[in-house]
Amino acid sequence: MKTAQKFVCQSCQAPHPKWAGQCSQCRAWNSLEAMSQAPVSKVQASPPQRLSDVNVSKWPRMPTALGEFDRVLGGGLVPGAVVLLGGDPGVGKSTLLLQALGQLSQKHRILYVTGEESLEQVAARAQRLNVPLEDTWVMAETDCQAILAEARVHRTEIMVLDSVQTLGISEVAGAPGSVSQVRAVTHACVQFAKQHNTAIFLVGHVTKDGALAGPRMLEHMVDTVLYFEGEKDRTYRMVRAVKNRFGAVNEMGVFAMLDRGLKPVSHPSALFLSHTEQPMPGRVIMATWEGTRPLLVEVQALVDDSQGSQPRRVMVGLESQRVAMLLAVLSRHVGLSTAGQDVFINVVGGLRVLEPAADLAILAAVMSSVRNQALNASTVVFGEVGLGGELRPVPSGQARLAAAVQHGLKHAWIPAANQPKPKDLRAEGLSGCQCHAFHTVDTLLNQLFA
């Protein structure tokens, strides 16, 4: 047996074969930390099998009764799965898992381990959330091995570790929360989960600037990675699956944070519209796609003469690189320059929209603000915009249109390739929808703001 020593940068996670005062990757000083690797040993490999002999009886699922949470998990929790739930402090991770465990405790042996709060705090919250207190086992502990030993004795089926950054293993160097500890704790949990068929939720805090990069580097070690998003001062929160060995990725569940905890929102398609019928310049409704369903989302733009020497580009809920590219397309192909102007764009409701299908709506919102010309309130816009000013089709165009029609939107401005065939217009209940389909962004926008 031999043990290798490696060093890892605490700020960028770059591996280094030997210690140095400065990280050669990100140039941070004094950021390298020793990481002891698992001893290399010779073990007997399990013999190869024919795939046809492997038993693939469908994974049993343990539903949490929180419909939106089950949706992101791929239809319920799978025994032996390790699920990482990441998110900003205060977004509601502990609340969500306590509620889910409360439901699961009726059928399974569960354990909620807190390394951050006192048992009194957990109990007070559980009471408020109406969690069945009798069957919910809790433990305040930060020693990972002590926790796993307890779980073995109790034959725990489902466990929450809140949070992975507070736990430690005594033999491993570094304080709890350091790269080496977080990695070792996760490794121990994954091994335990597979050996004992225990499902484990690991809670991981991610700060906005990503300073505490812990959970990011764990993504490849666990089965499922969920991110809990949403602003603390808003009611709606979204859980998104960014990796799932047992379900679809990019699936999203929507919750409302109420005074009695999180409530699933099962039909969120019109949640992200500001509920005003009043036409307003800069306001455009787009149809985005989240996981397996369409979502109508409002985007607002404000373009104004810049007061400073450096015009401001502020994007909330959008990728600023992509918007910079779109503004260049607008200038070159539509002849609408935003040079010397501040551009603010906001996606309503704290949602993040990263799909290219939002391109056209973003440009329509910018143009609407520049021209100070409001769109008809029953207009929906979607489509991808290429660098040559061409409009590209987006996936699931018909389902997006159907969602828009369902919410009373009647005018769709879309890429030519997304134009439904006449027979689909009748079959899919889209007959109330008037489609304006174009090949290029300049012809579409010039018609829209004629």
| Tokens linked to 272 | 């992200």
For residue 295, how many other CB atoms are within 10 A of its CB? 23
Could you tell me if 35 and 45 are in contact, meaning their C-beta atoms sit under 8 angstroms apart?
no
Site membership for ligand TYD, residue 234 (CB under 6 A):
no
Q: How far is the CB of 259 from ligand TYD (least distance, A)?
A: 5
68 HSE (CA, 13 A, CB side):
23
Q: How far is the CB of 316 from ligand TYD (least distance, A)?
A: 20
Closer residue to ligand TYD in complex, CB, 131/326 = 131
Find tokens 């099998």 and name the residue.
Answer: 49
Stretch that binds ligand TYD, among 39-47, 67-75, 93-101, 337-345 (CB under 6 A): 93-101
Q: How far is the CB of 268 from Mg ion (least distance, A)?
A: 24
Task: Give CA–CA dist 303/369, Å, rounded.
Answer: 6
Site membership for ligand TYD, residue 132 (CB under 6 A):
no
Site membership for ligand TYD, residue 90 (CB under 6 A):
yes
Q: How far is the CB of 121 from ligand TYD (least distance, A)?
A: 9
Binding residues among 86-115 for Mg ion as defined by CB under 5 A: 94
Closer residue to Mg ion in complex, CB, 10/94 = 94
Burial (CB count within 10 angstroms: exposed 0-12, middle 13-18, buried 19+), residue 51? exposed
- Here's the x/- map for ligand TYD, 111-130, by CB under 6 A: it reads as --------------x--xx-
Interface pick for ligand TYD out of 71, 93, 240, 333 (rule CB under 6 A): 93
- Which residues are 161's β-sheet partners? 113, 202
Find tokens 């929808």 and name the residue.
Answer: 433
- Here's the x/- map for ligand TYD, 237-266, by CB under 6 A: it reads as --------------------x-xxx-----
119 HSE (CA, 13 A, CB side):
8
Closer residue to ligand TYD in complex, CB, 27/128 = 128
Interface pick for ligand TYD out of 63, 75, 79, 89 (rule CB under 6 A): 89
Site membership for ligand TYD, residue 293 (CB under 6 A):
no
Interface pick for ligand TYD out of 74, 76, 80, 92 (rule CB under 6 A): 92
Nearest to 329 by CA among 365, 284, 370, 359: 359
Could you tell me if 391 and 360 are in contact, meaning their C-beta atoms sit under 8 angstroms apart?
yes
Site membership for Mg ion, residue 269 (CB under 5 A):
no
Nearest to 156 by CA among 199, 191, 127: 199
Q: How far is the CB of 368 from ligand TYD (least distance, A)?
A: 35
Task: Give CA–CA dist 239/223, Å, rounded.
Answer: 16
- Here's the x/- map for ligand TYD, 179-218, by CB under 6 A: it reads as ----------------------------------------
Q: How far is the CB of 205 from Mg ion (least distance, A)?
A: 8
- Beta pairing class for 313-316 and 341-347: parallel
Site membership for Mg ion, residue 165 (CB under 5 A):
no
The residue ranges of DSSP E strands in 321-433, in sequence order, are 341-347, 379-381, 384-385, 391-392, 411-415
Q: How far is the CB of 132 from Mg ion (least distance, A)?
A: 20
Nearest to 316 by CA among 338, 344, 274: 344
Closer residue to ligand TYD in complex, CB, 232/439 = 232
Task: Give CA–CA dist 422/443, Å, rounded.
Answer: 23
Q: DSSP assignment, residue 44?
A: P
Could you tell me if 419 and 383 are in contact, meaning their C-beta atoms sit under 8 angstroms apart?
no
Size of the site for ligand TYD (CB under 6 A): 16
The residue ranges that bind ligand TYD (CB under 6 A) are: 87, 89-95, 125, 128-129, 232, 257, 259-261
Q: Which residues bind Mg ion (CB under 5 A)?
A: 94
